[in-house]
Amino acid sequence: MESREYIEIVRKVLDIESGVRERAADEVTDRLSAYSPAQASALATLLSAAAVSEEENSALEAELHAILELMSTGHVRLDHVSQLQEIRIEQLPPELGEYVTDVLEG
């Protein structure tokens, strides 16, 4: 992916508006084959950091889904998403808690 496009998606992933973050996470999954290994791992790390502080369940679900999809590329290791361990699973709806567990189990 070209640097300009990559920076744009990173900006969206980190946007203040949850709707923009959610759409950005969906866009990440739509373009899996476009990322270099470094871009994929960096995006997964940023998405993980965003997920830790995410307050909107729909955005969190999209972020977790994008992380799982990025992990499926083989370019993302568990240590890239280790921040997810900060999420208090017991405070999430069950389906989102299961999503976090799935990601952390690789």
Angstrom distance (rounded) from CA 51 to CA 45: 10
17-54 tens-digit pLDDT: 999 999 999 999 999 999 999 999 999 999 999 999 99
pLDDT confidence band for 99 (50 / 70 / 90): confident
For residue range 70-95, what is the model confidence (pLDDT) as tens digits? 999 999 999 999 999 999 998 999 99
Q: Where are the domains of the chain?
A: 3-104
Residue 102's pLDDT band (cuts 50, 70, 90):
confident
- Supply the pTM of this predicted model: 0.92
Q: What is the DSSP string of the chain?
A: --HHHHHHHHHHHT-SSHHHHHHHHHHHHHTGGG--HHHHHHHHHHHHHHHHH---HHHHHHHHHHHHHHHTTT---GGGGGGGGGS-GGGS-HHHHHHHHHHHT-
